[in-house]
Amino acid sequence: MQNFRFYNPTQILFGQGQIEHLAVEILKHGRKVLFVYGKGSIKKTGIYAEVVRQLNQHAIPFVELGGVDPNPRISTVRQGAQLCREHQIDFILAVGGGSTIDCSKAIAAAALYDGDPWDFWCGKATIRHALPIGSVLTLSATGSEMNSGTVISNEETLEKTGSGGDALFPRFSILDPAYTFTVPADQTAAGVVDIMTHVYEFYFSREQFATLTDSISEMILKTCIHYGPIAIAEPQNYEARANLMWASSLALNGTIKVGKSFDGFNHLTEHALSAVYDITHGVGLAILAPYWMEYVLDAETAPALAAFARNVWDVSIADNFEAAREGIRRTRQFYTSMGMPQRLGQVGIGADRLDEIVEKAVGTRTIGSLKPLTPADIHRILVLAL
């Protein structure tokens, strides 16, 4: 187990009806709000009306920024920062999924920065200050509601990358599982895959003796495997939605990172895919992860992949290689059963831009904690996934 620091200041208000605390929580941090949301789902579901009622009841002035795209764009961040300056905004409220929350975090940092906001994602500047933000989560997937990361796409250069800093932790996040009853089956499934892949990024590193961390990781995976199909079959099943919602936060709020290192293959490669092809993050991950597991399986990694098969999928095969293969087979089968595609070709991705994808994902770096992967290895995995 590696040495670690753990810090997470986000206050969680979990459960049905927690929206009633929204205004009080906002007023702890600000007086004038930028209310950020996506393409309109919150208007259909009634969440928009509830938020507006809360703000009006407490006479909190607000300016709206709707229309945030899935895979949120730097142009929207620039627009939001401009609105903050024009209207002397001192608090950002994100109501939506990971895209809306990430965009809000980005705006919070950009509003206090004189240069172009993309500087934070291309490595020219570091996020040290930001307006305070709070979130109302409507989709269980990214963990953005309880972490300090923000993933933004540059639609001009076709890049998509993460940035972050302690200033971006939401001051509070309202997690009402009933707000996810309306998430369609495909987005529910993509969210489940995203949660599971956040776990893989740390679970599959080879540090020994992080037993507690690994056990928590396995329980998060089992929670996804149990409740994902239930949430798809019965969208209004509160127990399923509630367990998935907390799994979303736990998988990327630092808890399962402690004592482990980051593998990175799945997220770095998927971000490059969705930068170029604008696909849903969880869909890209569902395609990549099983091919990656097959590619990295060797004598050194077989024990870790076999432990995954036995502890998560209840595989009872004694041989490590055979157990690992069975675990990978069940992972792929599970994703398919939730309607996820298995190949890049199914989402319109061919062989023509793979060099560009690899370049955008890792440049010339070797990455990977479970097994080091060169750019050539990543290219080979993508070819296998075509």
Which residue in the block uniquely carries the two structure tokens 């037993």? 211
- 88 three-state secondary structure: coil
- Between 62 and 181, whose beta carbon lies closer to ligand NZQ? 181
Q: Which stretch binds Zn ion (CB under 5 A): 46-54, 70-78, 82-90, 187-195?
A: 187-195
Least distance (Å) between residue 192 CB and ligand NZQ: 10
* Distance in angstroms (rounded) separating the CA atoms of residues 377 and 268: 14
Q: Which stretch binds Zn ion (CB under 5 A): 176-184, 189-197, 314-322, 363-371?
A: 189-197
Which of the stretches 58-66, 190-198, 239-247, 307-315 binds Zn ion when contact is defined by CB under 5 A? Answer: 190-198
Binding to Zn ion by residue 326, rule CB under 5 A? Answer: no
Nearer to ligand NZQ, 80 or 297 (CB): 80
Beta bridge partners of 56: none
Binding partner of residue 151 among ligand NZQ, Zn ion, none, CB under 5 to 8 Å per kind? ligand NZQ
Hey, what are 289's tokens?
A: 């992860």
For 137, half-sphere exposure in the C-beta direction (CA atoms, 13 angstrom radius) is 30
Smaller CB separation from ligand NZQ, 3 or 44: 44
Beta carbons of 154 and 206 less than 8 angstroms apart: no
Q: In angstroms, what is the minimal distance from the CB of 187 to ligand NZQ?
A: 4
Q: How far is the CB of 114 from ligand NZQ (least distance, A)?
A: 24
| Nearer of residues 145 and 194 to Zn ion, judged by Cβ | 194
Instruction: Find which of Zn ion, ligand NZQ, none residue 374 binds, CB within 5 to 8 Å per kind.
Output: none
Would you tell me which residues interact with ligand NZQ (CB under 6 A)? Answer: 38-42, 45, 70-71, 96-100, 102, 138-139, 141-144, 147, 149-151, 179-180, 182-183, 187, 191, 194, 252, 267, 281
Indicate whether 194 belongs to the interface with Zn ion (CB under 5 A): yes
Give residue for tokens 């928590």.
Answer: 216
Instruction: Label residue 160 exposed, middle or buried (CB < 10 Å: 0-12, 13-18, 19+).
Output: buried
Which one-letter amino acid corresponds to residue 241? R
> If DSSP states are collapsed to H, E and C, what string results for 171-209?
CEEEECHHHHCCCCHHHHHHHHHHHHHHHHHHHCCCCCC
Q: Per the structure block, which two tokens stand in for 310?
A: 């036995």
What gap in Å lies between CA 294 and CA 326, rounded to an integer? 11
CB of 145 to ligand NZQ, least distance (A): 9
Closer to Zn ion by Cβ: residue 22 or 268? 268
**Torsion sign over Cα 282, 283, 284, 285:** positive
Integer Cα distance of 22 and 59 in angstroms: 13
Q: How far is the CB of 266 from Zn ion (least distance, A)?
A: 8
Complex with ligand NZQ: residue 155 or 322, whichever CB lies closer: 155
| Partner touching 179 among Zn ion, ligand NZQ, none, CB below 5 to 8 Å by kind | ligand NZQ
Residue 256's binding partner among ligand NZQ, Zn ion, none (Cβ under 5 to 8 angstroms by kind) is none
Residue 245, SS3 per DSSP = helix
Residues 268, 280: Cα–Cα separation, whole Å = 14
102 touches Zn ion by CB under 5 A: no
Query: To the nearest whole angstrom, how small is the minimum distance from the Cβ of residue 379 to Zn ion?
Result: 22
For ligand NZQ, the closer of residues 267 and 310 by Cβ is 267
Q: Which is nearer to ligand NZQ, 38 or 134 (CB)?
A: 38
Q: Which residue is nearest to Zn ion (CB)?
A: 194
Least distance from Zn ion to the Cβ atom of residue 131, Å: 25
Least separation in angstroms between residue 385's CB and ligand NZQ is 18
Q: What share of the chain is helix, strand, coil (3-state, %, to 5)?
A: 55, 10, 35
Q: What's the CA angle centered on 36, arms 30 and 42, to 5 degrees?
A: 125
Tell me the CA end-to-end span of the chain in Å, nearest whole number: 37
Binding residues (CB under 5 A) for Zn ion: these are: 194
